[in-house]
Amino acid sequence: MKRLLSFALAGLLAISAQAQAPQSPEIAARSYLLLDMTANRVLTERDADTPNDPASLTKLMTAYVVFGALRDKRLSLEQTLPVSKRAWDERKGDPSLMFIDTLMTPKVDELLHGMIIQSGNDASVALAEGVAGTVEQFVAMMNRQARAWALTNTEFKNVTGMTETGHKSSARDLSVIAANLIRDFPEYYAYYSQREFTYNKIRQHNRNLLLTRDASVDGMKTGYTSAAGYCLIASSQRDYPNGKRRLLSIVMGAASKEARASESQKLLNWGYSAFDAVRLFEKAQAISTVPVWKGVLPEAKLGASGAVYVAVPRGEGAKLQTKIERSDPLVAPLTKGQRVGVIKVSTTAGVAVAEVPLVVLEEVPLAGIFGRAWDAVRLWIK
């Protein structure tokens, strides 16, 4: 059964998968999920809520917390950070490395390249210590963010993704992390599209094979441990006549590097070919104008806060209809963005497709005492 993301993206509250969906492809992996980020719809999935070892997909949350520190001015890209013995000790066992040592003071920007492109465990530890002082405090920040997003199948024990008892996540939870990273930090997302990075005269290639195979793929992250198998989150954006459309595939537990890439590509191609993203409303488009009581304005413009897309099986877009359900009467003051109802999208056969918050598009302040009194009488008579 196709399921929904448990949180709202781009204004969509929920999307039903009751409509007949195209047959999804067979995917050779432990679990997977394909998300249409533009329409906020999970197009297909298998065992997406099963907790697994996330390997280096963990570093998406590590990066999210670091990006938050940059946004809040607690860190800067040009700032240099020391390399602790703990970061240097990541060399033990020969995992993924940036190859920094305790005599170096790399910049935050360099460490981000090392963590994202080279999947450096040493870079991850250095960044965590630079943000939070200790790895343990940084991991606590990661888990607080996971709880804020209600990721019930995720618990972090480290910042690198190395196998550790209790360290877990699921395909659905990882899709939430990846989608929020893309949406919240577009200025840093370009790191994930870079194909190689050289530091300390050591050149390493991005392990995401789709970056060189599919021009529409611009991220995100690979992972591997013996417990996790081969994992890949791939993000792709393609241009269509009604705008750009982004899909996000999560593949966990594939058999090889090649398999994780080919299975991810299979999911992306199927999602683009089997579904249409239909743009119903533009951002801040007035869908309805309704009377307001006790306000300085007689009417309020209502609509969706962002552009509204829905994903439907190819060719089904003409069968959609919308219905507005709102509070009545609307009484001032009304603030911009205040939710006053829902926009329900369904097929002509009555199958629910989406519910979108109906919000006030322009503020309506409270009227003066005489205006309020007159409307109070009118409401009483009504």
Q: What is the pLDDT of residue 353?
A: 82
Active site residues per annotation: 56, 59, 119
Q: What is the pLDDT of residue 376?
A: 53
- The dihedral sign for the CA sequence 366, 367, 369, 374: negative
Low-confidence stretches of the chain (pLDDT beneath 50)? 1-19, 370-371, 374-375, 377
What's the CA gap between 277 and 113, in Å, rounded?
Answer: 33
What is the reported pTM?
0.86
Helical (H) or strand (E) element with 302: strand 299-303
Q: What is the pLDDT of residue 313?
A: 87
What's the CA gap between 166 and 365, in Å, rounded?
Answer: 52
Q: What is the pLDDT of residue 17?
A: 40
Q: What is the pLDDT of residue 14?
A: 37
Report CA Rg, the chain: 24
In the chain, residues under CATH classification 2.60.410.10 are 282-381
* CATH among 3.40.50.11060, 3.30.2040.10, 3.40.605.10, 3.40.710.10 for 14-277: 3.40.710.10
Q: Which CATH architecture has domain 282-381?
A: Sandwich (2.60)
The predicted-structure confidence for 52-111, as pLDDT tens digits, reads as follows: 999 999 999 999 999 999 999 999 999 999 999 999 999 887 679 999 999 999 999 999
Structure tokens at 160: 């690198």
Angle (nearest 5°) at CA 246 between 141 and 169 = 35
Q: What is the pLDDT of residue 381?
A: 53
Q: What is the pLDDT of residue 3?
A: 33
In the chain, residues under CATH classification 3.40.710.10 are 14-277
Q: What is the pLDDT of residue 2?
A: 34
Are 326 and 358 in contact, with CB atoms under 8 Å apart? yes
Q: What is the pLDDT of residue 240?
A: 85
